[in-house]
């Protein structure tokens, strides 16, 4: 199942993507879905098995534009 880490800033999202990839997390940048209600944000997609690892990495970063996490569920996304 796919998880998304949602950001309001494109620059912070891409910087976080670089940090995740450097830590060996296979993630990619995607457009934020409308369900998030964040406008034109950028999200980082990754597998749900990596959720705890991604949380630890992003928590240490303290990005001000980080909004939260969404989980793909039946064609839509739910906030975690």
Q: What is the number of domains present in the chain?
A: 1
pLDDT at residue 22, as a whole number: 98
Q: Is the pLDDT of residue 39 over 80?
A: no
**pTM of the full structure:** 0.93
d(Cα 33, Cα 6) in Å, to the nearest integer? 9
What residues make up the domain containing 8? Answer: 2-79
Work out the pLDDT band at 35, boundaries 50, 70, 90: confident
Q: Which CATH number covers residue 74?
A: 3.30.70.1530
Strands (DSSP E) along the chain, which ranges? 2-7, 28-31, 42-47, 66-73, 76-79
Segment 25-36 mean pLDDT: 92
pLDDT at residue 75, as a whole number: 87
């Amino acid at each position: 199942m796919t998880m998304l880490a949602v950001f309001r800033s494109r620059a912070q999202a891409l910087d976080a993507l670089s940090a995740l990839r450097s830590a060996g997390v296979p993630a990619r940048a995607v457009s934020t879905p409308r369900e998030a209600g964040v406008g034109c944000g950028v999200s980082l997609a990754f597998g749900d098995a990596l959720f705890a690892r991604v949380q630890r990495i992003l928590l240490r970063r303290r990005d001000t534009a980080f909004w939260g996490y969404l989980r793909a569920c039946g064609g839509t996304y739910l906030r975690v």
